[in-house]
């Protein structure tokens, strides 16, 4: 177990290093740096500036310096947002994006698993057909289309929720729903298949035979077995929710990391973009690691190596 | 002896009456029984045909701006405003076509000429409404389909070539090479690629990179100048090269010095200078020609990401095929490694590859829509479905609800992705060898 976690952390370090190195050299390869502005500096001043910021050192020295400061957690200053370091932007945006992501994942799990259980237990009923049709729609529609339709319906035609912004729980409902909906649909399908698989097994018959109430059999015995595909889907789901938050934050004007990342990309804010890519890689890796560990916990047959 | 011969003859006759069923025929038979998959296939076939033949359809020009019809709701009775000038001579007609449709490739231009000849200036009413500039949404959906579908196909094919080659080589060589190649795939897998691509776009679209990329082109614009009156010549040059500069080039407005700025209606600027009596484009923020190639480069990058799963799937399949007799036979008669991989192994992977192909196209299309939605993909004046959805959501206001701007692009995207997903599922079931002859 410990060996497994350590090995995975080692791979994570390698991956981060690869991402950092590739980004660094790409940034370096792009013509034009912070000093190549339209207003040319006096050559002597530019020379001084270059020395000040070590821009005339050999490339490998610059690389090592950047790498060591990144290792110390200093990702540099933003190219475009005055007075902000990358660390400060992350510190501001991360709690917002994280709470949005967690609520979205919660939505996806609760909605998806409930729908999956209901349609598996009432197989062939109108509820089953209806829920699975909804899941199909949810998988096919991109989240920004769902967002647009929901904004028209639930904000303007029937004003239930605020249109955009951040601060109250009401602000969280629509974005989290739009973000979670496609994954809720996938989870519903996975849960349904898993449940149908498990419900036909002998130990379920045994549980019914010894007189357990139906609810206990389904929630205690069947669900645990049916959860496994859902848990292994959580890794991709988390990655997708991280990605989807770019769009959803943009639509609902939520001041999280996604908006910063898109803005950084649009405005060529290299340092911020690179810092965020590193952050997203770390997040994704950690989440996948957690998913794998919990998988081994849920299914005793799985051995972590 | 004679009875035996007769028996063999009878057996042969019987064998002749039995028709062999290839995997392809068998799969097609099973696919035909799957109604949903067939519906999806039919939908995609119709969509694909219509997208290819879009210039032939009597649609309103996708770029024809009519501010009088801003945000007009869907309209069924009144024929659309085509903006095509028919009667003021061929020059005016060409100009009006260029204004409405942008610069087209020769095939589309020919189709468009047929359309003009057949339908004259009649066009379908705006049954999907119009957008904030009074442009017809139906027509923009069709022209957007061309880009969205093309992107999906091109990027998927790129991923296919990379993934199959990589996976087949790793699987066939095996051993340490295989191990190393698959470790690389593992590392790449855990990088959130969408972010990396966006980061790459950041760099590719940096103004300075663009200038170096765009410096030499368009080649047709280098023009000799001998006379003195530059301003008049410039005008003449633009009249001549309007086409290469982009359809909606406005007249050149001189700025002091040796350089001239050329403005276009959609906000694209060129700077032109005289260089030893030749007119040359110095910078262009986004020239049409290069913009197209930028999109191509960009979606090659997308394709280069989605090969990872393909490589894994193909490798697994190759490992199971590697020890089959026909491979051994090929090795014994001295076939080269390359020949075995590409001539004997790859064709056997076809079913896996086809299934995975249909499942990758919707992912790639979704990614394109996603990027265009964020303003990082296809750029105006080109249209794609993601861009249309983005415009629709931007136009949502509490005052009036322009539902058609959100619903129709969403419907187009949703239906296509739905059809591709179902076709992929259906193909997976149909091509499953365990289901053979059932």
Compute the distance between CA of residue A186 and CA of residue A230 in angstroms, rounded to an integer. 9
Instruction: Provide φ and ψ at B284, rounded to 5°.
Output: -140, 130
Look up residue A69 and give its two tokens.
Answer: 């400061």
Using a CB-CB cut-off of 8 Å, the residues of chain A touching B39 are none
10 Å CB burial of residue B258 (0-12, 13-18, 19+) is exposed
Confidence of residue A1 (pLDDT cuts 50, 70, 90): confident
* pLDDT per position as a tens digit, A110-134: 999 999 999 988 888 888 888 888 8
How many C-beta atoms surround the C-beta of residue B380 within 10 A?
12
Residues 6+ apart with CB under 8 A from B11: none
Compute the distance between CA of residue B348 and CA of residue B344 in angstroms, rounded to an integer. 7
For chain B (438 residues), the mean pLDDT of every run of 10, in chain order, is 78 80 76 86 92 84 74 72 68 74 78 80 77 81 88 87 89 87 80 70 54 38 43 55 49 44 47 52 44 60 80 86 86 89 80 81 84 76 82 75 84 88 82 61
Strand, helix or coil for residue B77: coil
Distance from CA of B383 to the nearest CA of A (A): 17
Q: Does B231 touch chain A (CB under 8 A)?
A: no
Compute the distance between CA of residue A153 and CA of residue A60 in angstroms, rounded to an integer. 56
Residues 6+ apart with CB under 8 A from A221: A203, A204, A207, A212
Four-CA torsion B160, B164, B166, B167, nearest 10 degrees: 130
Residues 6+ apart with CB under 8 A from B415: A140, B43
Strand, helix or coil for residue B251: strand
Partner-chain contact A136 B374, CB within 8 Å? no
Partner-chain contact A31 B208, CB within 8 Å? yes
Query: Chain B window 354-373: which residues touch A at a Cβ cutoff of 8 Å?
Result: 366, 369-370, 373
Summarize the confidence of residues A225-249 as an average pLDDT: 82
pTM for the model stands at 0.73
More confidently predicted of B246 and A170: A170
More confidently predicted of A109 and B227: A109
Summarize the confidence of residues A136-143 as an average pLDDT: 82
Query: Which segments of B183-335 are extended strands (E)?
Result: 223-224, 249-254, 259-264, 269-275, 278-284
Order across the sheet with B249-254: list the strands.
B223-224, B278-284, B269-275, B259-264, B249-254
Using a CB-CB cut-off of 8 Å, the residues of chain A touching B384 are none
Using a CB-CB cut-off of 8 Å, the residues of chain B touching A274 are 199
Using a CB-CB cut-off of 8 Å, the residues of chain B touching A247 are 370, 373-374
Cα dist from A210 to A214, A225, B268, whole Å: 11, 19, 76
Q: Number of A:B CB contacts under 8 A? A: 143
Across chain A, mean pLDDT equals 81
Distance from CA of B189 to the nearest CA of A (A): 10
* pLDDT per position as a tens digit, B236-261: 555 555 555 544 444 444 444 445 55
Distance from CA of A58 to the nearest CA of B (A): 22
Q: Report ipTM (2 d.p.).
A: 0.76
Query: Which candidate in A75, A140, A155, A290 is best for mutational testing of the B interface (most B CBs within 10 A)?
Result: A140
Please compute, for residue B274, the number of CA atoms within 13 A of its CA located in the half-sphere on the CB side: 18
Look up residue B210 and give its two tokens.
Answer: 């663009």
Q: Nearest-CA neighbor of B323 among B303, B342, B345? A: B345
Residue ranges of alpha helices (H) inside chain A are: 2-29, 43-52, 59-71, 86-121, 126-140, 143-150, 169-199, 202-209, 214-216, 223-251, 257-266, 270-298
């Amino acid at each position: 177990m410990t060996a497994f976690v350590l090995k995975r952390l080692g791979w994570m370090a390698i991956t981060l290093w690869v991402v950092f190195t590739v980004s660094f050299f790409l940034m370096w390869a792009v013509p034009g740096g912070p000093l190549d502005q339209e207003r040319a500096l006096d050559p002597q001043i530019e020379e001084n500036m270059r020395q000040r910021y070590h821009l005339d050192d050999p490339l490998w020295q610059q690389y090592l310096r950047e790498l060591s400061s990144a290792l110390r957690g200093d990702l540099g200053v933003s190219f475009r947002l005055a007075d902000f370091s990358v660390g400060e932007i992350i510190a501001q945006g991360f709690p917002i994006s994280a709470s949005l992501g967690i609520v979205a994942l919660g939505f996806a799990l609760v909605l998806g698993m409930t729908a999956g259980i209901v349609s598996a237990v009432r197989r062939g009923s109108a509820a089953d057909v209806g829920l699975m049709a909804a899941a199909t729609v949810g998988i096919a529609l991109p989240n920004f289309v769902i967002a647009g339709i929901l904004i028209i319906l639930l904000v303007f035609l029937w004003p239930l929720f605020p249109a955009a912004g951040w601060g109250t729980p009401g602000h969280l409902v629509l974005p989290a729903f739009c973000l979670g909906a496609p994954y809720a649909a996938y989870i519903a399908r996975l849960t349904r298949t898993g449940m149908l698989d498990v419900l036909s097994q002998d130990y379920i018959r045994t549980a019914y035979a010894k007189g357990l109430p139906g609810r206990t059999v389904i929630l205690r015995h069947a669900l645990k077995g049916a959860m496994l595909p859902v848990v292994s889907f959580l890794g991709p789901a988390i990655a997708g929710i991280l990605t989807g938050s770019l769009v959803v934050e943009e639509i609902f004007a939520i001041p999280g990391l996604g908006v910063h990342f898109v803005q950084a990309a649009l405005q060529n804010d290299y340092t911020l973009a690179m810092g965020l890519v590193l952050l997203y890689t770390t997040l994704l890796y950690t989440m996948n690691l957690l998913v794998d560990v919990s998988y081994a916990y849920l299914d005793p047959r799985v051995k972590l190596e | 002896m004679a009875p035996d011969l007769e028996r063999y003859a009878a057996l042969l006759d019987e064998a002749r009456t039995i028709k062999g069923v290839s995997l392809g025929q068998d799969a097609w038979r099973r696919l035909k029984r799957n109604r949903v998959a067939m519906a999806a296939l039919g939908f995609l076939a119709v969509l694909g045909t219509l997208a290819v033949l879009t210039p032939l359809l009597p649609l309103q020009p996708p770029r024809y701006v009519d501010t009088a019809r801003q945000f007009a709701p869907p309209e069924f009775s009144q024929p659309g405003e085509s903006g095509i000038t028919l009667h003021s001579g061929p020059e005016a007609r060409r100009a009006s076509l260029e204004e409405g449709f942008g610069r087209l490739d020769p095939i589309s231009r020919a189709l468009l000429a047929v359309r003009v000849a057949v339908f004259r200036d009649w066009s379908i009413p705006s049954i999907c409404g119009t957008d904030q500039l009074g442009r017809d949404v139906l027509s923009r959906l069709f022209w957007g389909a061309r880009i969205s579908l093309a992107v999906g196909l091109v990027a998927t094919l790129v991923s296919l070539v990379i993934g199959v080659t990589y996976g087949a080589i790793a699987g066939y060589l095996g051993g340490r090479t295989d191990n190393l190649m698959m470790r690389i795939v593992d590392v790449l897998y855990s990088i959130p690629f969408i972010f990396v691509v966006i980061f790459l776009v950041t760099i590719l679209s940096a103004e300075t990179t663009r200038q170096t990329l765009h410096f030499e082109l368009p080649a047709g614009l280098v023009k000799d100048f001998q006379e003195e009156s530059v301003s008049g010549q410039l005008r003449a040059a633009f009249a001549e090269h309007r086409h290469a500069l982009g359809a909606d080039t406005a007249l050149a407005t001189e700025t002091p010095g040796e350089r001239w700025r050329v403005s276009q209606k959609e906000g694209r600027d060129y700077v032109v200078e005289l260089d030893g009596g030749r007119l040359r484009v110095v910078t262009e923020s986004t020239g049409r020609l290069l913009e197209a190639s930028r999109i191509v480069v960009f979606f090659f990058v997308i394709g280069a990401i989605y090969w990872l799963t393909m490589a894994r799937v193909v490798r697994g399949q190759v490992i199971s095929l590697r020890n089959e007799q026909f491979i051994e036979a090929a090795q014994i008669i001295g076939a080269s490694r390359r020949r075995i991989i590409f001539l004997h192994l790859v064709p056997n992977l076809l079913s896996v590859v086809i299934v995975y192909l249909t499942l990758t196209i919707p992912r790639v299309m979704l990614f394109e829509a996603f990027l265009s939605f964020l303003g990082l993909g296809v750029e105006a004046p080109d249209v794609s479905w993601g861009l249309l959805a983005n415009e629709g959501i931007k136009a949502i206001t509490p005052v009036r609800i322009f539902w058609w701007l959100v619903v129709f692009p969403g419907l187009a995207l949703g239906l296509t992705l739905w059809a591709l997903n179902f076709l992929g599922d259906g193909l997976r079931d149909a091509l499953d060898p365990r289901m053979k002859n059932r």
